[in-house]
Amino acid sequence: MTTPKNGDTVTIDYVLKRGDGEIVGNTEQAGPQEIQLGSGQIFPQIEQALTGMEVGDEKTVEIACENAFGPRREELVIDIPLASLPPEPAPQPGMAMQAQSPDGQPLTLHIVEVGDDAIKADGNHPLAGEDVTFDLALRDIKQAS
């Protein structure tokens, strides 16, 4: 029985679902993902689940919002005057834009509304405030040397 350990690289398939069961991501199109355990590439709950699995095993892991993409923060929903945006491309709801947080960190904003004089942009992760579920399948283990 071979199970992965810290430092090993695993290949996984996954399906990511919201708490209500809606699928919001998966490896179907991009293909299986390689992850080095212990590198902080994924949620600790996923790493913990993978360390007990063998190749071919499947497991479902539920993660509360606090341990996933965090709680929704209303202070990250901001109004930006249209005059402070470049004229092209014209802002549209759903469009992503890059900004800088007050502490200098890069921040991705999603435009949620376009008004006559300003846009409303949301800096929360799209899954902030939601519990998520990962359906995992372990495809391969490359043991660290």
Going along the chain from its start, the domains and CATH numbers come out as 9-69+127-142 (3.10.50.40), 74-122 (2.40.10.330)
Q: Specify the pLDDT at position 95.
A: 93
Give the separation between CA 38 and CA 20, rounded to whole angstroms.
30
Q: Are 33 and 11 in contact (CB under 8 A)?
A: yes
Centre a 10 Å sphere on the Cβ of residue 14 and count the other Cβ atoms it contains.
19
pLDDT surpassing 90 at residue 135: yes
Which of 88, 81, 87 lies closest to 114 in space, CA to CA? 81
Q: What is the pLDDT of residues 12-60, one digit of tens each?
A: 999 999 999 999 999 998 899 999 999 999 999 999 999 989 999 999 9
pLDDT surpassing 90 at residue 121: yes
Which of 29, 22, 54, 1 lies closest to 131 in space, CA to CA? 22
* Strand ranges in 27-123 using DSSP code E only, listed in sequence order: 33-36, 58-63, 77-81, 96-100, 106-114, 118-122
